[in-house]
Amino acid sequence: MEKRGGWGSKMAFILAASGSAIGLGNIWRFPYQTGMNGGAAFVLIYIIAAFTVGLTLFLAEVSLGRATKRNPVGAFKEKRPKSPWFLVGILGVFTAVMILSYYAVIAGWTVGYSIKAIKGDFSKTLTKASVQKMFLSFSSNTGLNFLLLLIFISLTVIVVSFGIKGGIEKLTKILMPVLFIILVYLAIKSVSFEGASKGLLFYLKPDFSKINSKVVLYAITQAFFSLSLGMGTIMTYGSYLSDSDYLPSSALWVVSLDTFVAIMAGLIIFPTLFTVPGMSPAQGPSLVFVILPVVFSKISGGAIFGSLFFFLLLIAALTSTISLLEVPVAYLIDEKKWNRKKAALAVGLLSFLFGIPSIFANKPGNFFNDIPFIKKDFLSIMDFVWGNISLLVGGFFIAIFVGYIWKYNKALKEINKSGKIFKFGKLWGFFLRFILPPILFIIILSSLLIK
Ligand code: TRP
């Protein structure tokens, strides 16, 4: 088992798991979800969801991963051989390929916007019309986006080919702290713009009448997406942990860091948004690519900060795509005895092919921009099916498996293996068995009805 590779230290796991968690989900998806779901009320429900449902499932995934030291398919097979439970792992492997395909398209945008920043595109005075035009002409440029997708998937494949320790650890250790600092700096700037208070109210003062089942649904799915839960990413990363690591504190660290970055991203976007006349918070996936240029145009040294920011976002996205690719790659290595390089290349190619329709999703008039009958663009459909439903279904079955099949007290034993006893073990077991399954079940049903 040794040659599978493992983390250098517990700190390395926290860094790598936060590297997986922190990404476009925090900086691109969280603000636009908040904007579309009523602002502060959504933020509040999101935080509650992350620290209850999210944290509980996080611990379930790491403990199963570490107990079996296997990929998601192997983990289920080891605990329940000759039963259909391994299919939950297979669903995770598929989901990883699919999320990677469209996630890499958006990640490609961060590459494009880094270049725009360097070119000085954000140093002019920007209006609503000009930023929207900039986004549209960029995102509908098929050739460019094709190239960016190819670049991004290739980068991911290269890092994953080098293996868990050489590739992932080094990258996160150096660049994550820099990202944190620049986020805080930009948030302080944004909050102090003239007219920022309207955005602060929208973002931080909850209007409780806006809380409905849809808000709860999107808050929970956002928490899953942002924390990389429900498909075995965290299980896979947990499988590289050593038995002496105390899991609950690692889990709490990752959830806290991830939530912090999301909150900061919103604090950058919304105050600035309300200083631009006519701009709506509910504009969907284009939101941050429209507002961030405005932020950079308003601060001194905007070109430098802009290029640095988009570069760091690119790295954050890369540490997330690495964790997505790692799931099918670990599966192919462990279960199918492929070598790492071949597995990374094959899965990367598959994701690239599935990503192509998402490139056309922002080209007005294109088939994939407005799919007949469904009346949605391809990328949104992918995000809904794989980034929402599939993670919820996966999370539901993982909770049932760890809570009832493998049994929560065995999981607790695994958690306590480090020698330090988890004080909230009983509470965790209660949540895992009696709160998560019904909540997730109701939410899966209602999400199928809402759309
Ligand atoms: N959590 C990452 C983000 O917020 C994306 C991601 C990586 C992910 N691995 C995942 C999402 C597994 C869902 C499942 O950007």
Q: What is the pLDDT confidence band of residue 448, given thresholds at 50, 70 and 90?
A: confident
Average of per-residue pLDDT across 152-167: 84
Tell me the CA–centroid distance for residue 318 and ligand 1, in Å.
11
- Asked if residue 247 belongs to a domain, the reply is yes
Q: Does residue 388 line the site of ligand 1, with CB under 6 A?
A: no
| Separation CA 313–CA 254 (nearest Å) | 18
- Residue 423, pLDDT score: 95
- Tell me how far the alpha carbon of residue 280 lies from the centroid of ligand 1, in angstroms: 27
Q: Is the CB of 225 under 6 A from ligand 1?
A: yes
CA dihedral 60, 220, 207, 184 (to 10 degrees): 70
CB atoms within 10 A of CB 129: 9
Averaged over 207-236, what is the pLDDT?
94
What whole-number distance in Å separates Cα of residue 266 and Cα of residue 301?
Answer: 21
CB 88, CB 72: distance < 8 Å: yes
Residue 378 predicted with pLDDT over 90: yes
The verdict on residue 83 lying in a domain is: yes
Q: Are 207 and 381 spatial neighbours (Cβ–Cβ below 8 Å)?
A: no
- Would you say residue 99 has pLDDT above 60? yes
Judge if the beta carbon of residue 265 lies within 6 A of ligand 1.
no
Let me know if residue 310 belongs to a domain.
yes
Task: Say how many domains are in the chain.
Answer: 1
Q: pLDDT of 271-312, one tens digit each?
A: 999 999 999 999 999 999 999 999 999 999 988 999 999 999
CA-closest candidate to residue 355, choices 89, 167, 151: 151
Per the domain annotation, does 185 fall within a domain?
yes
CATH number at residue 419: 1.20.1730
From the CA of 85, how far away is ligand 1's center (Å)? 23
Q: What's the average model confidence in pLDDT over 175-192? A: 93
Residue 92 lies inside a defined structural domain of this protein = yes
The predicted pLDDT at position 1 comes to: 38
Residue 420 lies in a domain: yes
CA angle 186, 192, 194 (to 5 degrees): 125
Task: Please say whether the beta carbons of 382 and 102 come within 8 A.
Answer: yes
Percentage of residues in the chain having pLDDT higher than 90? 82
Cα 106 to averaged position of ligand 1 atoms, centre (Å):
13
Pocket test for ligand 1, best of 20, 229, 255, 288 (most atoms within 8 A of CB): 20
Cβ of 26 below 6 Å from ligand 1: yes
Average pLDDT, whole number, for the chain? 93
Among protein residues, the one whose CA lies closest to atom 14 of ligand 1: 228
Testing ligand 1's pocket by substitution, the residue of 46, 99, 385 carrying the most ligand atoms inside 8 A of its CB is 99
Q: Answer whether 297's CB lies under 8 Å from 63's CB.
A: no
Q: In this predicted model, what pLDDT tens digit does every residue of 240-261 receive, in sequence order?
A: 888 888 999 999 999 999 999 9
Confidence at 5, pLDDT banded by 50, 70, 90: low
340, 163 contact by CB (below 8 A): yes
According to the model, what pLDDT value does residue 232 have?
94
Beta bridge partners of 11: none
Tell whether 133 is covered by a domain: yes
Residue nearest to atom 6 of ligand 1 (CA): 228
**Residue 5 belongs to some domain of the structure:** no
- Alpha-carbon span 100 to 321, nearest angstrom: 6
* Tokens at 203, concatenated: 């973002």
Give the range of the structural domain holding residue 364, as residue numbers without chain letter: 10-450
214 Cα–ligand 1 center, Å: 21
For residue 362 and ligand 1, the question of a CB distance below 6 A is answered with no
Among protein residues, the one with the nearest Cα to ligand 1's atom 7 is 320
12 closest CA partner among 329, 254, 181, 248? 254
Segment 108-120 shows an average pLDDT of 93
